[in-house]
Amino acid sequence: MSDDEQTQTEVEEKKGGGKDEVNPRRQRKLDYGQRLLRLIAENKNILLLNIDNVGSRQMQQVRIALRGQATFLMGKNTIIRRVLRDHIDNGGAAQLEVLLPYIYGNVGFCFTNNDLADIRKKVTSNQVPAAARGGSFAPLDVYIPPGPTPLDPGQTAFFQALNIATKITRGAIEIINTVHLIKKSERVSASAVALLTKLGIKPFFFGIKCTHVYEAGSFYEAEVLDLSQDLLLGKFLRAASRVAAVSLAIDVPSAASLPHSLARGFRKLLGIGLVTNYIFKEAEPYKAFLDNPDAFKAAASSGAPAAGGAPAAAAAAPEPEEEDEEPAAIGGGGLFGDDDGGY
């Protein structure tokens, strides 16, 4: 081979990189896709994260706090969506399709098999104060309290331009009333940023936000993790009591109203048994209380069990109601209830 042919071959190899050589950029995408699928296969829980206004140092601190408990993975949204779609089309978990509409903006994943509430708390607890940025949406309302400021009287015109009432006190500007400077979910103006900068106030706290949760095929908002076991039990009991009340009101039996129906039936049977002196086994404690209430009072005061082993609940047995006697009519009465006997 001549020198010219050898030089031309080297130039072609440099340009094309060889037919068997893989583009490094494409290789990185393939490696990322394999890592994403491996994490999905190894972990049953995924936290969707929003990392707006979060710095690299803050991310590093959260990673260190979750080392050995969870794995973070960030990436380009287009690559993530493509990997998930290809995985679903090739027979992967179809439940992962619910993630696709929420992969936008500065999004990331937190893969874990541990308790989701604990992991979410560690992820979101790392908050750092930050100054307001012009044009960004405010995460909360910002108020400036009344009182003196470190600004000299020469900057009074700045407050006047913002319609903030001030006065001069001891050579410094003092704000008279509370100022609602920034409203939540609205864009921060440049004048508000300038005022907060002059006052040295950093009103916002930025950190990683957990927006949604993918748990073993189920997908829901992260706020559900704030519901404790006691709160869920209380909600269930309130719902069961409402179902029982509706069932009793419309006279349609249900599993929730059955205990109340049985209790009502027992009370009626108890009343009939006490009136007719037909005592069954469950009514014996109540009958014993009515026959000798002093024995139960003595047992309650001494703390000893009542004679005959009657439960303390017998002390609350309802006494048979006495019928109200109608007042006798003066001078008699007629057949139809009139005073003059119909004459």
250-267 pLDDT, tens digit each: 888 888 888 888 888 888
d(CA 95, CA 46): 12
d(CA 273, CA 261): 18
Q: What is the pLDDT of residue 1?
A: 52
Q: What is the pLDDT of residue 260?
A: 86
Residue 270 pLDDT > 90, yes or no?
A: no
Q: How far is CA 290 from CA 103, 306, 307, 334, in A?
A: 73, 13, 13, 41
Residue 337 pLDDT > 70, yes or no?
A: no
Q: What is the pLDDT of residue 213?
A: 93
This prediction's pTM: 0.55
Tokens of 301: 């005061």
Q: What is the pLDDT of residue 319?
A: 53
d(CA 142, CA 240): 43
For CA atoms 281, 286, 288, 290, the dihedral sign is negative
Mean pLDDT over the full length of the chain: 79
Tokens of 39: 């994490």
Tokens of 76: 């380009």
Sheet harboring 147-148: ordered strands across?
147-148, 172-175, 166-169
66-125 pLDDT, tens digit each: 998 999 999 899 999 999 999 888 887 788 888 999 998 889 999 999 988 899 998 988
CA-based end-to-end distance of the chain = 150
Domains plus CATH for the chain? 24-127+209-225 (3.30.70.1730), 134-203 (3.90.105.20), 257-316 (no CATH)
DSSP string, 196-209: HHHHT---EEE--E
